[in-house]
């Protein structure tokens, strides 16, 4: 439990990178991790002026967020990620990720959802006391 907010990645240049842009609320360093129903609340994350190339063995954009505590207010602007070699992987992964594209991105990110999920509007654990 907890929260992470107000993170900005701006002016990032990368070459032949796996997992260029990733938020993973299910990350676990051990092989026998249980899938938890709660997660750290991730909100207000901005990716701006991110350019470079990626390794085509994995999608360059991966947002794996919790059903009960989705990622919110993820902002994408001026993101251009091309394959280092091979064909463009234009299938980003989004699960319970909410946000906007301020500009068209490469690859396109059509999987970000608009608005705020209802599960967060009524969650008393995420409100100031």
pTM for this one?
A: 0.84
Domain membership of residue 98 (yes or no) is yes
pLDDT tens for 5-51 read 999 999 999 999 998 999 988 777 777 666 666 678 899 999 999 99
Domain membership of residue 90 (yes or no) is yes
Residue 12: what are its φ and ψ, rounded to 5°? Answer: -95, 130
Domain membership of residue 84 (yes or no) is yes
Q: Domain count for the chain, please give it.
A: 1
For residue 113, pLDDT beyond 50: yes
* All residues at 6 or more sequence positions from 60 whose CB lies less than 8 Å from its CB, including other chains: 17, 19, 20, 21, 54, 81, 89, 92, 107
Domain membership of residue 126 (yes or no) is no
Domain membership of residue 122 (yes or no) is no
Residue 72: give the domain boundaries.
16-27+41-117
pLDDT tens for 57-85 read 888 999 999 888 899 999 999 999 999 98
């Amino acid at each position: 439990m907890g929260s992470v907010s107000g993170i900005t990645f701006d002016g990032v240049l990368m070459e032949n990178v796996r997992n260029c842009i990733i938020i993973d609320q299910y990350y676990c360093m051990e092989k026998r991790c249980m899938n938890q129903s709660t997660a750290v609340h991730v909100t207000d994350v901005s990716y701006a002026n991110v350019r470079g190339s990626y390794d085509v063995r994995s999608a360059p954009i991966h947002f794996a967020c919790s059903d009960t505590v989705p990622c919110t207010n993820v902002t994408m602007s001026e993101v251009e990620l091309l394959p280092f070699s091979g064909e463009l992987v234009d299938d980003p992964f989004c699960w319970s990720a909410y946000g906007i594209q301020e500009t068209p991105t490469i690859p396109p990110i059509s999987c970000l959802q608009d608005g705020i999920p209802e599960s967060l509007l009524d969650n008393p654990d995420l409100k100031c006391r």
